[in-house]
Amino acid sequence: MKFRKKEAMACIALLCLSGCDKETYPPAKLVWAQTGTQPQEFFGHKAAAVGDVTGSGYDDLLVGAPGHSDRKGRAVLYLGSAKGLENDPLWTAEGENPGDAFGDVVGALGDINGNGYTAFFVTASEYSSATAKHCGKVYVYSGGPKGPSRKPIWTAEGTTPGELFGDCAAVVGDVNGDGYPDFMIGAYGFDQFRGKVYLYLGSANGFSKKADWVYEGEAKGDWQGYGIGPAGDVNGDGYGDVVLGAKYHSQTFRNDGKVYLFYGSAKGLAPRPDWTHSGETADSRFGHHLSGAGDVNGDGFADIIIGAPGYDRSRGRAYVFVGSPQGPKERPDAILEGQVTGESFGTDVASADDVNGDGYADVLASGPGYATFPGAANLFLGSRDGVQTRPFYREIGEGGGNSYGSIVGSAGDVNGDGIPDWFVCAPSFGSDPKEAGKVYLYEGAGLNESPFRFNLRRRSNHSMVGPGAAIRLGNDSLLLSLAAKGLSEEVKLEAEVKEAGQPFDGDNLIASDWVPAEKGILEMTGLAPGKAYRWRARLVFKNGRKASHWVVPAFWRLAGSPHFRTLH
Ligand SMILES: [Ca+2]
Ligand SMILES: [Ca+2]
Ligand SMILES: [Ca+2]
Ligand SMILES: [Ca+2]
């Protein structure tokens, strides 16, 4: 009796606490939303910032709707602009056959063929070839000034029936430091759900037809490759690193889940992982989704975030591990947790980039099961001590059954104000039409009173240099220009430029003279032909206050990919 009373009081205390909490979460600013057009379309089953596909200087958003038109599926590209995302899509593509589920996964690739525009991919994981039912297929489209290519420039298919090739896929940065981004594709259905991942290395000629590296699950039923994340450069050696998740692997407990981290090197990825970690309890499904978190504690090493939505009767948790020269530690550096049983917090986890411009990357973690599937999405801020465990923003879905928060992610900077935006997907949104799906875009404006950003431009015509773009030295050079609204003092621009495969170390900085902030410009000197480079920049202030944090080109912060290349 006594025990029950105590329990009831604890319940009341909890209710009060959650009630008080709710009032103190400021709402994020919703600036754009689009809904699906057909029943069962599942618009927003996946969405992704794909960078600047048309070279306009604004980041673009790609949305997948695998249920479209009898599950043929479609992918839709919305362009960024000074006013934010456009409402009418620039480009749409559909799957080849009913049942293909084209748009199952969509994502960015960067400039893989050196044409100066970013490419992206769309997967159809239930595509059937003549010989293998539901083997899956992945399509890569090139960017260009008028929009993406109509036809894919590269495709790859799974080889065994039921493999579901492409049910997860991601650009994993430049794992071998050759200056080209590399592409990982998962097939979790391979060999009775043992699962398998395939790595395609980039080159001047794009991706090879055959995978350059593969890794299989430890046991049947593991679902290896259901989670794939570009980790960024976790150990700071200049090579991009990769995390993989096998959420149904049983390491210590049944379905505790296991995550595998591989470090990049000049030779690419090793046959065995460099670090592994498994879930805390049975049915945690640790590694369901995982992602690079950006640099949440500002120490120059990329950090990772891993979801375990099944933890504690699907209350769910997400774990942040910070990078270091030795990689992540044995224990997590921060544990984020859902608020109620059944929330499935950690279903998706992602970097939000640095939403408030304080130099610490921020993260998103969501629980689409919150309160019987209205769902909830949370933004957590980074800090010198790592990710703060109390959400800064918390948004609840519009109604029951929407699964708001199934997918979350950074949208890059769709309106070019220097402040990253983020999106939340509710793929089951809608009663009329049913399960049409909806995607919401939020902006970080107002969080940062004096945002500044750096743009990379060609001296010849002042055109913006997109991620991975190529430049011919001799005829031309690269200028780093500062955009700093509301900053009136004199500043110096300071930049560090490193070849692909070389870490940032604070050496060999180049700097401008003292200039009024509105005239801030710096020529990128010391470049050699035929190389790929990464850069970061900061502001030094004349009035003696501390230099700004380092700014890395937003879209490529995570992947560790080169930012530009020089031609021979
Ligand atoms: Ca590479
Ligand atoms: Ca590395
Ligand atoms: Ca870090
Ligand atoms: Ca931040």
Q: In the structure, what pLDDT confidence band is assigned to residue 448 with cuts at 50, 70 and 90?
A: low
**Residue 59 — pLDDT band, cuts 50, 70, 90?**
confident
Residues with CB under 5 A from ligand 2 (ion): 233, 235, 237, 239, 241, 263
CA of 122 to the centre of ligand 2 (A): 27
More confident residue, 460 or 91: 91
d(CA 142, ligand 1 centre) in Å:
18
Farthest-apart Cα atoms in the chain, separation: 85
Q: Is 192 helix (H, G, I), strand (E, B) or coil?
A: helix
* φ/ψ of residue 441, rounded to 5: -115, 130
SS3 string of 72-85?
CEEEEEECCCCCCC
Kindly identify the ligand whose nearest atom is closest to the C-alpha of 237: 2
Distance (angstroms) between ligand 4 centre and the Cα of 104 equals: 30
For residues 242 and 214, give the distance between their C-alpha atoms in angstroms, rounded to a whole number: 13
* Centre of ligand 2 from the C-alpha of residue 186, in Å: 21
The ligand minimizing its distance to the Cα of 172 is 1
- Tally of CA atoms within 13 A in the half-sphere of 303 that contains its CB: 32
Question: Residue range 21-40: average pLDDT?
Answer: 82
State in Å: Cα 490 to ligand 4 middle.
Answer: 25
Integer angstrom CA distances of residue 29 from 62, 395, 423: 20, 10, 11
Distance of CA 294 from the midpoint of ligand 3 (Å) = 7
Ligand (nearest to CA of 262): 2
| Ligand minimally distant from the alpha carbon of residue 174 | 1
Counting ligands in written order, the one closest to the CA of 178 is 1
User: Of the ligands numbered here, which is closest to the C-alpha atom of 382?
Assistant: 4
Banded pLDDT at 429 (limits 50, 70, 90):
very high
| 549 Cα: distance to centroid of ligand 2 (angstroms) | 21
pLDDT of residue 271: 97
Distances in Å between the Cα of 46 and the Cα atoms of 106, 142, 181 are: 6, 19, 21
What share of the chain in percent tops pLDDT 90? 70
End-to-end CA distance of the chain: 81
The answer for 120, left when phi > 0, alpha when psi is -120 to 50, beta otherwise, is beta
In this prediction, residue 557 has a pLDDT band, given cuts at 50, 70 and 90, of: low
**CA pair distance 183, 108, nearest whole angstrom:** 10
pLDDT above 80: residue 91: yes
Alpha-carbon distance of 239 to 222, in angstroms, equals 28
Q: How far is the CA of 179 from the centre of ligand 1 (A)?
A: 6
Residue 230 CA: which ligand is closest? 2
Tokens at residue 252, please?
A: 């210590």
Instruction: Tell me the CA–centroid distance for residue 268 and ligand 1, in Å.
Output: 8
What pLDDT was estimated at residue 462?
83
* Cα gap 205→473, rounded to integer Å: 21
CA of 101 to the centre of ligand 3 (A): 37
Distance 244 CA to ligand 1 centre (A): 18
Tell me how far the alpha carbon of residue 166 lies from the centroid of ligand 2, in angstroms: 25
Give, as one character, the DSSP assignment of residue 193.
Answer: H
- Separation between Cα atoms, residue 362 and residue 350, nearest integer Å: 9
Mean predicted confidence (pLDDT) in 529-552:
90
Helix, strand, or coil here: 10? helix
Residue 372 CA, ligand 4 centroid: distance in Å: 31
**Predicted confidence (pLDDT) per residue in 140-174, tens digit:** 999 998 999 999 999 999 999 999 999 999 999 89
pLDDT at 14: 40
Q: What's the confidence (pLDDT) of residue 544?
A: 81
Confidence category of residue 100, pLDDT binned at 50, 70, 90: very high
Q: Which ligand is nearest to the CA of 351?
A: 4
CA of 348 to the centre of ligand 3 (A): 20
3-state secondary structure 531-547: CEEEEEEEEEECCCCCC
Q: How far is the CA of 468 from the centre of ligand 1 (A)?
A: 12
For ligand 4, the distance from its centroid to the CA atom of residue 554, given in whole angstroms, is 13
The rounded Å distance from CA 451 to ligand 4 centre is 12
Cβ neighbours around 354 below 10 Å, total: 28
- Give the integer Cα–Cα distance in Å for 369 and 545: 46
Q: Report pTM.
A: 0.92
Measured at the CA of 425, the angle between CA 99 and CA 39, to 5 degrees, comes to: 45
Convert the pLDDT of each residue in 210-229 to its tens digit: 999 999 999 999 999 999 99
Q: How far is the CA of 235 from the centre of ligand 2 (A)?
A: 5
Residue 233 C-alpha to ligand 3 middle, in angstroms? 9
Of 208, 200, 124, 122, give the one whose Cα is nearest residue 163.
124
Non-local (6+) Cβ contacts of 413 within 8 A are 58, 59, 80, 419, 420, 421, 453, 554
CA of 223 to the centre of ligand 1 (A): 26
Ligand nearest to the CA of 268: 1
